[in-house]
Each structure stands twice: as structure tokens, then as C-alpha cells.
Chains A and B, each alone.
Chain A
Amino acid sequence: MSTQNSLPISHWQRLWLYLLGGLVMLFLIAPSVIIVIMSFSGSTLLQFPPEQWSLRWYESYFGSVEWRDATIVSVKVAVMTAIAATPLGTAAAYAINAGTLRLTGAINALLTASLIIPVILIGIGTFFLYARIGLNNTLTGLVIAHTVQALPLVVLTVLSGLRSYDMNQEMVARSLGAGRFAAFFQVTMPQLRFSIVSGALFAFITSFDEVVVSLFISGGETTTLTRRMFNALRDQIDPTIAAISTCLIVLSIALLSAAQLFGRER
């Protein structure tokens, strides 16, 4: 019997619930596991488990100039997006948390709008705007578009950190003579660093995994990895994509664990 919630129901009576929950968890995780295993297959046929093993799909990924270029573009854009979105989002979260601004609710809604507005509409709109100002197929354009997408995640992450932080500490620092900026950077920020770093990681992964907007505004030399994958998937199923997918899955795991580890340090 569970000691924590101490309901008089035994685990045995709950077996069906655990079974059902376990099946749903399997449904959620199985596709990723299958892809990781398939990426080491030696054949072009889709066999599971694979009969021979090889690294040929990884060789085909790293050996291809097109895939490598697309990966470099995606990494560059994601790094720059994280660098741009993190300070912007942190500053905005700080101001929203203060709550003294009129229209704080409206500001919050506007900043998080890109989570709710259908991405396809943002993609078409951004393409339309960029066509006028010549930002289509440029790194700058991608970084700006991705920053807008990543901003709400940084704002929400930092905001939830600020909610559990006592702002009076900053007041004390300021009453002891620290300037506004000194108080923030020396007192508040060190205590928020977990939220800020998580926000930055989320910004990175949001940009790296972004598909729909990139589909419209990237191309030519600035084709992102996801755009190239999407087009490749439209044509045929190339097992090289399994190798790329595995790399993306590993990246997600690494970033999530980094965010988690950073949290424990606190």
C-alpha cells in the first residue's frame, strides 16, 4: 500500500491501471526506440529487429555535403536563437513578474501568442513579410523568426523561476546601495540561473526542431536540417533519416538532462 497518499487501495487492486498506463507509455516511447535501433541496420529494407548491423546510414549522413551543410545551418541558427531569445525573454519575464505595468495581461498574451497562433499562419505571414524586406533564405531571417517562436518558452520558464523567488532580496540589495543592474546581476540572476539556462536550452531545441516556418523561409544555402528532412520524407523513406533522427533524439535527451542536472545543483 502506498504510504504517501495512504488510500486504502492496494497496488494489486490497481494492477489494471498500471497495465494501461504502461501500455500508453510504451506507445509514447516505442517509435523513438525503434528508430534508434533501425538506424544501425545494415539493409535498406525495413526489418525489425534488423538482421545485420552497420553504421552505413551514419556514414551516409556525415558523408553527404548536403546533409552536413543543412546541419551546420540548423546549429548556427539554433545557437543564435538561444543567444537572442534568452536575454529578451528574461527581461520580459522580469517586467511581467513585477506586475506593476498596466496591461501586464495583454503583454503576457502577446508574448506567448506564438504558442497559440497556428504555426502555418505564422509561416505564411513571415514568408510574406520577408519577401518584401528581402529576408527569405537568410540566416538573419531564420534567427528572427525562430527567436519569436522561442521567446514564449523563455518567458514562461523564467517567469516560473521568478514566481518562487523573493524579490525583496533585490530590494535589500538596492537599499544597501547596489544599483538596479548590480542588484539584478549579483543577487537575482544567480538564483534564477536554473530557469534562465533551461530557457536557453528550450530556445535552442525549439529552433533546431522547428519545421513549418523554416519550410517557408529557408532555402538554397540556408536550408535547415528539418526542411531537408521534410522534403526527403515527401519523396521516399531514406534510412539515412533514421540516423539523423537518432542524432536528434540524442540531442533532445542531452538537452533535457542538462536542464535537469542544472536544476539539481541549486
Chain B
Amino acid sequence: MSVGSASFDHAGKPDGVLNADALRADARRQALGLLALVSPGLFLVFAVIIVPIGWLFWLSLFDETGQLSFANYARFFEQASYIKTFVTTFKVAFVVTGASVLFGYPLAYMLSQLPRRAASICLIFVILPFWTSVLVRTYAWLVILQRKGLINNWLIDLGVIGQPLPLANNFTGVVIGMTHIMLPFLVLPLYASMKTIDVDCLRAGMNLGASPAATFRQIFFPLSLPGLASGVVIVFVLCLGFFVTPALMGGGKVIMWAMRMEQATSLYSNWGAGAALGVVLLAVTLALLGLFQRLLGARATGVWSRR
């Protein structure tokens, strides 16, 4: 856009070579100026994120005795506890992503069909939790789901159950808490993409005699798939590295990837092991996002920019 500045300043001078040089010099100045604007931010990201991660990667290549080895990575295939962690993590990620789609799709669909005013009011229900602390929401679920929590108290008072149901401090609790946190990440991009579906396409389908159900199935649903895919990918990826909710609601029984990293570094000070876990997690995350971007040509960070 601002390439225009150069040609603007010098427009109207028919002078050939001189002008071209001046233009090039101006463009270079412009580029340098812009680079100066991004560099402080880039420097911070580089120093606080890229350098330490590179450092950790380097560390992960050495075993406890300081020998170059793949011991830190080999452990993932050899120790049953690591394999169990990976299995748990993917299980949680799949279930939470599935639940998010199941609950999120109808909500996004409803939002996209409502009149503008009603939709923006209903959207508050999605955006407010999105901006509420994860810790607060996890605490809320603990209060609701634990042994002496609200649901168990109600059900026992009503005489439905005699013994409290195990809803928190286990797999169920982690899935419920995480689904609550992940839902907005699915609904927001999905809603945004549903909004762009041309109503005329649907109307044409119905004019040609399709029933509402057929119109949805054959026209709306296929058109909403790219938005759904972007929500699914971001939710799945976030689940893989999620820490707070499983740490608080897993009751020590549901050990996910991120918790394993925290244990390795804080509890056992085994930086090599923690770093290796981190490197693999990052690789899986980037691979999934890269694959998504390749297939659909869209960036999955969209959820944070549209509001």
C-alpha cells in the first residue's frame, strides 16, 4: 500500500535513470524504516521464545552424563509411563475436539442464522468465557463437579443417587472442563466462516425444491467445512499442550503431555527429558498446523483476530 509513497513524491518527473535511482533509494529507506518498526517486537519474540526453545532442543540431545545421544527420545518408546501419557493426551484431545464440534456446530449455526442484533447478543455468551481466566473457569467446574460439589449435592438431595458420582479428579472432569475452555476456539472461526456463506445459494436450492434438511446437508454443510476444519485444528492443537485444567481436574490420575513436562523439569530437574517432550510436542503442533495451512491455505490463528 505505501509503496505508493515513492512514486507519489517523484511523480511528474519524466527523468529516466536519475528518477529510477531516487525511487530505489527511497524504497530502501522505506524498507529500513519499516524494519525498524518491527524489530523491537521481533527481538523480544526471538530472545524469549526462539532462543530458549533452541537451547532446550540442544539440551535434549544429551543424556545425563553429557554424552550426545538420543536417550531422551528413546525413552518415549521404551517406558510404559510415557506411552501412557501420549495415549491419554491424544484420547483427551480427540474426545474434547469431538465434544466441541458436537456442541459448537449447532451454536455457530444458530448464531449465523439469527438476525444481526440477536446474534451479537448471543455472541456475548461465547466471547465472555473466551476472555475469562482459564483458572476461574476450571475452579468453577471443580465447584460444580467434585465429590461434594453442586451436582452431586443436588442429585443426592433429590434421591437420584446414593453415592456421589465421580465427576471431577478423573478423565470425565478433565474432558468437561477442557470442552468448556475450547468451545469458543471452535465456535468463533466457524461462525465467522458461516457468515460468509451466501444466502442466495441456499435460497436457490430451496427454490429448486430441496427440503430445508436437504439444503442444509447438500449446500450449507459442505460450505461450512473449511471453517469447521480451522476450528477443529486449533482446538486439537491447543488440547495437546494444555496444562491448567488437567493439572487441577485430573486428580493426579490423568497425566497429560504438558504435565509430564512440568514434572520432568520442576520435580526431577531433568531438563533433557522435559526438553525432548517439548520438542516433540512442538513438532507435532507445527506439523498439524502446517498440514492444515497446506490443505486449506488459511492460517489457524484467525480466531484471535476476528471479534
Could you list which residues of chain A lie within 8 angstroms of chain B, going by C-beta atoms? 2-9, 13-14, 17-18, 20-21, 24-25, 27-29, 31-32, 34-35, 38, 45-48, 88-89, 91-92, 94-102, 107, 110-122, 124-129, 144-145, 147-148, 151-153, 155-157, 159-160, 167-168, 170-171, 174-175, 180, 205, 208-209, 211-212, 216, 226, 229-230, 233-234, 237, 241-242, 245, 248-249, 252-253, 255-256
Could you list which residues of chain B lie within 8 angstroms of chain A, going by C-beta atoms? 1-5, 8-9, 27, 30-31, 33-35, 37-38, 40-42, 44-53, 55-56, 103-104, 106-107, 109-111, 113, 115-116, 122, 125-129, 131-144, 146, 148-150, 153-154, 180, 183-184, 199, 202-203, 206, 212, 237, 240-241, 243-244, 247-248, 258, 261-262, 265-266, 271, 274-275, 278, 281-282, 285-286, 289, 300-301, 304-306
Across the interface, name the chain B residue whose C-beta is closest to A172: B8
Q: Which of A27, A127, A174 contacts B103 (CB 8 A)?
A: A27
Residues of B within 8 A of A159 (CB): 305
Residues of A within 8 A of B153 (CB): 46-48
Across the interface, name the chain B residue whose C-beta is closest to A121: B278
Question: What's the Cα separation between A102 and B28 when bound, in Å?
Answer: 11
Total A-B residue pairs with C-beta atoms closer than 8 Å? Answer: 298
* A237 and B143 contact, CB distance less than 8 A: yes
- A sample of 18 cross-chain residue pairs with beta-carbon separation below 8 angstroms, ordered by A number, consists of A17-B113, A24-B103, A24-B106, A27-B103, A29-B125, A47-B150, A91-B37, A100-B30, A117-B285, A125-B56, A129-B47, A152-B301, A160-B306, A211-B133, A212-B244, A230-B248, A237-B142, A253-B128
Across the interface, name the chain A residue whose C-beta is closest to B112: A5
* A92 and B281 contact, CB distance less than 8 A: no
Known: A17-B106, A17-B110, A124-B278. A95 touches B4 (CB 8 A): no
Residues of A within 8 A of B49 (CB): 113-114, 117, 122, 125, 148
Known: A7-B203, A230-B244, A233-B138. A118 touches B132 (CB 8 A): no
Residues of B within 8 A of A145 (CB): 48
Residues of A within 8 A of B109 (CB): 17, 21
* A248 and B133 contact, CB distance less than 8 A: yes
* A209 and B53 contact, CB distance less than 8 A: no
Question: What's the Cα separation between A156 and B306 when bound, in Å?
Answer: 9
* A256 and B127 contact, CB distance less than 8 A: yes
Question: What's the Cα separation between A140 and B243 when bound, in Å?
Answer: 25
* B110 and A21 contact, CB distance less than 8 A: yes
* A46 and B8 contact, CB distance less than 8 A: no
Question: What's the Cα separation between A259 and B50 when bound, in Å?
Answer: 32
Residues of B within 8 A of A120 (CB): 241, 243, 258, 261-262, 278, 281
Q: Smallest CB–CB gap between A234 and chain B, Å?
A: 7
Question: What's the Cα separation between A35 and B202 when bound, in Å?
Answer: 42
* B129 and A28 contact, CB distance less than 8 A: yes
Residues of A within 8 A of B107 (CB): 20-21, 24-25
Known: A148-B44, A256-B128. A121 touches B282 (CB 8 A): yes
* A6 and B203 contact, CB distance less than 8 A: yes
Q: Which of A20, A21, A88, A174 contacts B41 (CB 8 A)?
A: A88
Known: A46-B150, A92-B38, A167-B2. A229 touches B135 (CB 8 A): yes
Residues of B within 8 A of A88 (CB): 40-41, 44
